[in-house]
Amino acid sequence: MHPTVNIAVRAARAAGDVILRYHNQVDLLTIENKSINDFVSEVDKTAEKAIINEIKKAFPKHSILAEESGEILGDNNFQWIIDPLDGTTNYLHGFPQYAVSIALLENQIPTHAVIYDPFKEELFTASKGEGAYLNDERIRVTMSNGLEDTLIGTGFPFKHPQHLDCYLETFKAIHPHVSGIRRAGAAALDLAYLAAGRLDGFWEIGLNKWDMAAGALLVKEAGGFIGDFSGRDQYMETGNVVAGNADVFKVLLKKIHPHLSEDLQR
């Protein structure tokens, strides 16, 4: 494992300890509503502080973009992208699908990634050019051809209700051609599962950088493809993402694109 990944793993496990410490006491937590259907708890904040502390000890000059703390200025050639608890709503309801997501971008290119599910004790890691791993075992995307018999992941645009009708049209375009569609509520884990071959493809509207920075590198290092709704490498800017192996990626784009509103085509 790359030394930088070791630091990220240490940070993710520190956050995981915080998350597990409170997972049976969520009724006692202070919870805020940041915006429509977007919650933050003291666990999110405490877990994020644990991550930042570990990173700053090892790399005091690096910059950080974290979901709860925002941007911490530093050397912009090295930027950490952090989601301390992806799947907060799941966590607050006792639904065990959530994870810590940490990625390092070097000159805007993702080079190291960690996604850690503390409840299931699953650790996904990747470094650029060195493959993707689950608990030290190499993982690969599936070899599915087309959409027949595939299991596809997705996310509802619950923070962007203006896109709901458009999303439903894409859902209807994909649904008849696959064996199943799953919406589990944690995009970081969806992308990690895609990298591990548990899902064949994935699409979602309106994600943030911290939702997908680590997962995107995992998908690529597992042999998959990821892009925006035009197939370009602009998903971190647009927040709109499609992913899968080479064939599934192409077919999903073909099914989705005719149903997009003009603003989602950009």
DSSP 43-93: HHHHHHHHHHHHHHHH-TTEEEEETTTEEE-SEEEEEEEEEEEETHHHHHT
Domain span at residue 209? 151-265
Q: Verify that 31 and 88 share a domain, yes or no.
A: yes
Question: 208 and 247 share a domain?
Answer: yes
CATH number reported for the structural domain that contains residue 169 in this entry: 3.40.190.80
Same domain, 122 and 14: yes
Identify whether residues 116 and 178 lie together within a single domain.
no
Same domain? For 155 and 135 the reply is no
Q: Could you tell me if 18 and 58 lie in one domain?
A: yes
121, 91, 59: which is closest to 184 by C-alpha?
A: 91
114 part of a folded domain: yes
Task: Name the domain boundary from 139, 170, 192.
Answer: 139
Entry pTM: 0.94
Euclidean distance between CA atoms 181 and 150, whole angstroms: 9
Domain contains 176: yes
CB 213 within 8 A of CB 126: no
Instruction: Pick the closest to residue 259 from 159, 173, 183 (CA basis).
Output: 173
Q: Is residue 144 part of a domain?
A: no
Is 220 inside any structural domain?
Answer: yes
Contacting residues for 148 by C-beta, under 8 A, at least 6 apart: 177, 178, 179
Total domains in the fold of the chain = 2
Residue 145 lies in a domain: no
Do residue 133 and residue 172 come from a single domain?
A: no
Per-residue pLDDT of the chain (266 residues), as tens digits, is 789 999 999 999 999 999 998 877 766 665 666 555 444 578 888 999 999 999 999 999 999 999 888 999 899 899 999 999 999 889 988 899 999 999 999 999 999 999 999 999 999 999 999 999 999 999 999 999 999 999 999 999 988 888 899 999 999 999 999 999 999 999 999 999 999 999 999 999 999 999 999 999 999 999 999 999 999 999 999 999 999 999 999 999 999 999 887 777 66
